[in-house]
């Protein structure tokens, strides 16, 4: 998401600088960004000031120093946890007499990160779904604007994936974390389904071994195919009938949009995110969270042919509002507007269009 947004805003003529405390685990990701800086003094080789030094204070001072060196931005986007709203406020307030406006940008429900009250240190908020926006509104001050922008998808190199004949191919793409993704619900429903079907699972995670054992216990292991981690998962998909996402909760559910953009309908639980993406009767099916029987009935109808798969073109058209160009343009308008709004009791004085 950061790569797409940074690239889109840069193409529109803005300067976007990404600041992180330390280098990312996947170093190649940093190479997708024109400007990325690291501000943790310890990471840079400086010793801690004293035993037990608080990370928040060290990072705030480090970020402040980086801004003093590189120049004050017009807008600060704090992602991805509420803690960074406070850090940005501490750092930004010391760079100039007026703190730049701060926007939070969470990539999941606020409750999944902890410290939700720290969102109040941001002046406004970017929400990736209406459900997340509602959760943020319940936490922050009434005068703090919450903008629903969704997550962007780049379809410039996306091609339609064909549907198989004779056998129903279900697909799961994502992290194997059963607490959130609830593959146990998916397995329990599939164990009831009769007829020719298979499930391809692309992804890895902490629960992979337990889920493989669960598949054997339920008697569906021969129909479940594990493909592990793939850098470009969609390149390994040759044919598919439906994407399955049976999560307990989601911030957005980008994989649903990725599937629909390829003409693949989606069966998902009716949690925040997917409930906003999946339109029953148009591009897929929604089932209440924890409803094993309801999910099994939907899957059985698909396998038996009682339910016809939604039209591929209709699936593709349903994700127009999530296109990267649309999302980035919306973000740009928000940034420009907030840059001209009074905060901290005074009007912000930007040096240009820097983020």
Write 346-352 long-range contacts (CB < 8 A, 24+): 346/98, 347/98, 348/74, 348/98, 348/100, 348/101, 349/96, 349/98, 350/73, 350/74, 350/100, 351/71, 351/72, 351/74, 352/15, 352/74
- Return d(Cα 49, Cα 86) in angstroms, integer: 21
Most confident option among 58-62, 68-72, 185-189: 185-189
Please tell me whether residues 190 and 312 are part of one structural domain: yes
Please tell me whether residues 280 and 338 are part of one structural domain: no
Summarised one tens digit per residue, pLDDT across range 206-229 is 999 999 999 999 999 999 999 999
Summarised one tens digit per residue, pLDDT across range 17-32 is 999 999 998 889 999 9
Contacts of 222 (CB under 8 A, 6+ apart): none
- For residue 110, pLDDT over 60 is answered with yes
Q: What mean pLDDT is predicted for residues 255-276?
A: 95
The pLDDT of residue 31 = 93
- For residue 45, is it within any domain? yes
- For residue 329, is it within any domain? yes
Cis peptide leading into residue 80 (ω within 30°): yes
The pLDDT of residue 78 = 97
The DSSP 8-state label assigned to residue 121 in this structure reads G
Please tell me whether residues 292 and 224 are part of one structural domain: yes
Of 40, 103, 121, 128, the closest CA to residue 322 belongs to: 128
**When comparing pLDDT for 250 and 173, which is higher?**
173
Among 37-51, 58-72, 206-220, 325-339, the minimum mean pLDDT is found in 37-51
- What is the distance of C-alpha 98 from the center of its chain? 31
Please tell me whether residues 13 and 137 are part of one structural domain: yes
- 82: domain CATH number? 3.40.50.2000
- For residue 347, pLDDT over 50 is answered with no
Please tell me whether residues 224 and 310 are part of one structural domain: yes
Percent of residues, the chain, with pLDDT higher than 90:
77
- For residue 101, is it within any domain? yes
The pLDDT of residue 350 = 39
The pLDDT of residue 346 = 39
Q: What's the whole-number average pLDDT of the chain? A: 91
- For residue 352, pLDDT over 50 is answered with no
Please tell me whether residues 128 and 172 are part of one structural domain: no
Please tell me whether residues 310 and 343 are part of one structural domain: no
Of 247, 245, 288, the closest CA to residue 265 belongs to: 245
Place of tokens 């029953």: 280
Write 305-309 long-range contacts (CB < 8 A, 24+): 309/163, 309/241, 309/242, 309/265
Please tell me whether residues 301 and 334 are part of one structural domain: no
The pLDDT of residue 153 = 87
Burial letters 136-164, b for 16+ CB under 10 A, else e: beebbeeebbbbbbbbbbebeeeeebebe
Domain ranges, residue 184 = 168-320
Among 62-71, 131-140, 151-160, the minimum mean pLDDT is found in 151-160
Q: What mean pLDDT is predicted for residues 149-154?
A: 88
Please tell me whether residues 286 and 334 are part of one structural domain: no
The pLDDT of residue 355 = 66
DSSP 180-235: HH-HHHHHHHHTT--SSEEEEEE---TTHHHHHHHHHHTT-GGGEEEEE--SSGGG
Please tell me whether residues 203 and 315 are part of one structural domain: yes
- Return d(Cα 123, Cα 138) in angstroms, integer: 15
The H-assigned helical ranges of the chain are 2-11, 27-30, 55-70, 83-95, 130-137, 178-181, 183-190, 208-217, 254-260, 274-277, 292-304, 312-317, 324-339
- For residue 160, is it within any domain? no
The pLDDT of residue 337 = 92
Percent of residues, the chain, with pLDDT higher than 70:
95
- For residue 161, is it within any domain? no
- Return d(Cα 133, Cα 146) in angstroms, integer: 6
Question: Would you say 155 and 317 are in contact if contact means Cβ atoms under 8 Å apart?
Answer: no
Q: What mean pLDDT is predicted for residues 45-63?
A: 89
- For residue 46, is it within any domain? yes
- For residue 197, is it within any domain? yes
Among 32-36, 184-188, 321-325, the minimum mean pLDDT is found in 321-325
Helix (H) or strand (E) segment spanning residue 261 = none
Summarised one tens digit per residue, pLDDT across range 124-141 is 999 998 889 999 999 998
The pLDDT of residue 139 = 96
What's the total number of domains in the chain? 2
The pLDDT of residue 182 = 97
- For residue 266, is it within any domain? yes
Please tell me whether residues 248 and 172 are part of one structural domain: yes
Please tell me whether residues 307 and 329 are part of one structural domain: no
């Amino acid at each position: 998401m950061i790569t797409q947004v940074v690239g889109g805003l840069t193409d529109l003529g803005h300067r976007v600088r990404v600041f992180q405390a330390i280098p990312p685990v996947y170093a190649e990701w940093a190479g997708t960004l024109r400007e990325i800086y690291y501000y943790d003094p310890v990471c840079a080789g400086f010793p801690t000031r004293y035993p037990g030094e608080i990370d928040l204070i060290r990072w705030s001072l480090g970020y402040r120093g980086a801004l003093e060196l590189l120049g004050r931005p017009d807008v600060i986007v704090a992602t991805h946890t509420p803690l960074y709203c406070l850090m940005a406020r501490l750092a930004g307030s010391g760079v100039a007499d007026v703190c730049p406006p701060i926007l939070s940008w969470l990539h999941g429900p606020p409750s999944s990160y902890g410290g939700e009250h720290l969102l109040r240190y941001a002046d406004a908020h970017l929400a990736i779904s209406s459900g997340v926006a509602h959760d943020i509104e319940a936490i922050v001050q009434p005068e703090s604007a919450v903008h629903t922008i969704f997550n962007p998808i780049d379809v410039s190199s996306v091609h339609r994936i064909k549907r198989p004949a004779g056998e129903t191919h279900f697909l799961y793409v994502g992290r194997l974390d059963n607490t959130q993704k609830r593959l146990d619900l998916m397995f329990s429903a599939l164990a009831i389904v009769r007829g020719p079907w298979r499930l391809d699972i692309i992804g890895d995670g902490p629960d992979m071994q337990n889920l493989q054992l669960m598949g054997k216990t339920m008697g569906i292991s021969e129909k479940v195919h594990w493909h592990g981690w793939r850098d470009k998962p969609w390149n390994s998909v040759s044919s598919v009938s439906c994407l399955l996402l049976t999560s307990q909760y989601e911030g957005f559910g980008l994989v649903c949009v990725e599937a629909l953009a390829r003409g693949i309908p989606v069966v998902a639980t009716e949690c925040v995110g997917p409930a906003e993406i999946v339109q029953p009767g148009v591009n897929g099916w929604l089932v209440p969270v924890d409803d094993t029987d309801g999910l099994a009935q939907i899957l059985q109808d698909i396998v038996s042919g009682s339910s016809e798969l939604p039209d591929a073109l209709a699936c593709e058209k349903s994700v127009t509002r999530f296109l990267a160009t649309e999302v980035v343009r919306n973000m740009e308008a928000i940034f420009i507007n907030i840059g001209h709004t009074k905060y901290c009791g005074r009007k912000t004085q930007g040096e240009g269009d820097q983020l």
